[in-house]
Amino acid sequence: MDQAAYWVLVVARLICTLATVVLISNALWKLLGRPYVVTRSLRRQGIRGPPCRFAVGSLLEARRMLAASRADTLDVSCHDYAPVVYPFFQKWTADYGKTFLFWWGPTPCIISTDVALVKKVLADRTNLFQKVHYFNPSFKSILGKGMLLVNGDDWKRHLKVIHPKFNEEKLKYMSTLVSEGTRRMMEEWYAQIQNSKTDQAEIDMMRDSDELTQGVIGQMIFGVNNKEVHELLVQGMKDPPIPGFRYLPTRRNRRLAKLDKFCTSKIMQIMKAHLAEGSYGDGLLGLMLEAYALDNKTLSIEEVVAECKSFFVAGQDTAANLLTWAMFLLSNYPQWQEKVREEILLECPKEGEAPSTDVLKKLKLLKMTVLETLRLYNPVPFIMRKTACDTNVSNIKVAKGTRIMIPIGMIHRDKEVWGADSNEFNPMRFDKGNNASSLLAFSYGPRVCIGQDFAMVEVMSVLVMILRRFAFSLSPKYVHRPRHRVVLTPKYGLPLIVKNVLQLDGYDYCD
């Protein structure tokens, strides 16, 4: 070996050695050093939490408690789902207080139900507390760089394009879609009742809510009902939160990749057709395409595709589960169902059509019912932020990269905020706007859900049309077991018994 080759080999070995040392040092810091330093710093500030195990943090203990509660069910009158959905949060809040430290593997998370701290985090406008969606890498890879996940200047740019599109005209357009979809759903119920010997029928409200809202949001975004996009997003959300898992050559991952490619291709086809015609359509996709074509290409084509996916999953799942849980509560409290129905009949919107926004504003009891549903069964039980740098949160020094986890479901049951009956169904707590500022169902601050008015109008409109024509109650088959999988859903569906309200005595309709 000549001298030049020898020194090349020496340098190569040195580089490999240094790279190995750096990798090992980083791993040791991440797995041992950082947990020790962060835990010690927060403990000095009075913030404690469950033990941090090597590499896995507090996850094993959390999963053990979750596994122990997996077979548990609740009484239909019990609305405190924490013991079965996140028993670890409930236990650790009792053990360590409203704000505590939890380790998701080697990642530090501050869990807080302190409303003042939470609002300070969510109200930030400096991009100090950045949006991050749990720990599932598939979520980001499937949705792309849509408004749901981007931060900073990118988020402001997306907001500038999209926010003006959520206006009164679009609410009216959505009401038309809701009316058409709800009529089709009710026609199926009528057919089932007519074919029954008992003048009633059993329906799966969870399934029907999914189909209805999927059709509405599909028309709102694409101008067509795009079931493939929904399937892609729902399946992708079920991936385990393991980095790189989505790229393993499993049968399911190959199917997801194929579905993702198909959905993106389908969205692109719709976009190209609109651009070629010079007519962008009435859907949200058309409005974004208009911004792309006429507004100096504020959004790229890839970002338009990402927004379509983001709004589909956010709009469909939120509305579907809000409607499902509202129907559950009204079924569970028949006296309140009667009160809401009487209010609807008193205002007497035109039969067979979704009510106008002006009529909805008069339906006080119905709105309070939906708000109480959001409090007890918020579709997204917790949200998360990530610190962009070392900072202070309510006088707590927090290191860069720390997750701030906000369990909305537990905050909505805080007796100090909501009173001694915080676990009970009581829509009157929202009378005269009481407690409305503490409701975090659509988040809070600058990143509050821009589609909240759409969700409220959609769900209230559907309930008006249903309550005007049907009475409903829980089926004996119903098993009360809320489950959190991206959104909060009834684990075993929501079977209801529906009857044509015209067959009941005591009702006078203004048709």
Question: Known binding site: residues?
Answer: 449
d(CA 232, CA 254): 12
Which of 113, 177, 21 is CA-nearest to residue 394?
113
d(CA 475, CA 497): 5
Token readout for 7 is: 């020194």
Which residues are known binding-site members for heme? 449
Q: How far apart are CA 22 and CA 15, in angstroms?
A: 10
DSSP one-letter string for 336-350: HHHHHHHHHHHH-PP
The answer for residues whose C-beta is within 8 angstroms of residue 357's C-beta and 6 or more apart is: 168, 171, 172, 175, 457
Residues near 36 by beta carbon (within 8 Å), at least 6 away in sequence: none
d(CA 190, CA 264): 38
Q: How far is Cα 162 from Cα 228, in angstroms, rounded to an integer?
A: 24
With CA atoms as reference, report the closest residue to 500 among 262, 293, 196: 196
Backbone dihedral region of 133: left (phi > 0), alpha (psi from -120 to 50 degrees) or beta?
Answer: beta
On whether the CB atoms of residues 328 and 434 are closer than 8 A, the answer is no
Q: Which residue is it, tokens 């949001």?
A: 217
